[in-house]
Amino acid sequence: MTHDEHVVLVDAEGEAIGTAPKTVVHGADTPLHLAFSCYVFDGEGRVLLTRRASHKRTWPGVLTNSCCGHPLPGEPAMEAVVRRLSYELGLTADSVELVLPRFAYRAVMDDGTVEHEMCPVYRALASSDPRPNPDEVGEVRWMPWKEFTHDVRSGLLSISPWCGEQLPLLMALGPDPFTWPAADPADLPPAARSPR
């Protein structure tokens, strides 16, 4: 990825209001911007967990969901998911579906760095093993979904703040990730939608 990659700044309704360089957008006063989270599953219902690379600006070395990223200006969120799965994990997903169109969060690191994102959540299915990019990912592991949710709720696993907030919302969709209903793309923040 180039160092001049820009993120899309959004208002509270999810309308694009500008862009900012990704390299400078995360600080003590991070503006609300567009992102996404993706949970990759294999045919056995295991979720792919990743540990963020130790040199990442936000939450380095923290265990989290499969893939996160920022749509580029003008790029629909679904296309950003496909692009980042390839870049971060060397994966071509068999399918990608929207499940939580309006998730948003704000989290503060111990050093005061803020993450503030409007962050739709996707489920992807993959039939190949990841080839993680060390620039992005420290390690990967597959884990049965039921075991993952149990270990997080029991305090046995520590995960990123966004993943921690997404988990109960995903669990509310049902115990089996394969039966989660796909959400309507029309419910996405406007800045994340495909142009009509």
User: Is 38 among the residues known to form the active site?
Assistant: no
**Alpha-carbon distance 49 to 65, whole Å?**
5
| Catalytic residue chosen out of the listed positions 67, 68, 119, 163 | 68
| Catalytic residue chosen out of the listed positions 38, 67, 88, 117 | 117
Q: Is the dihedral of CA 124, 140, 149, 114 positive or negative?
A: negative
Q: Is the dihedral of CA 110, 133, 138, 119 positive or negative?
A: positive
Phi/psi of residue 47, each to 5°? -95, 145
User: Is 75 among the residues known to form the active site?
Assistant: no
Give catalytic residues, as residue numbers: 68, 117
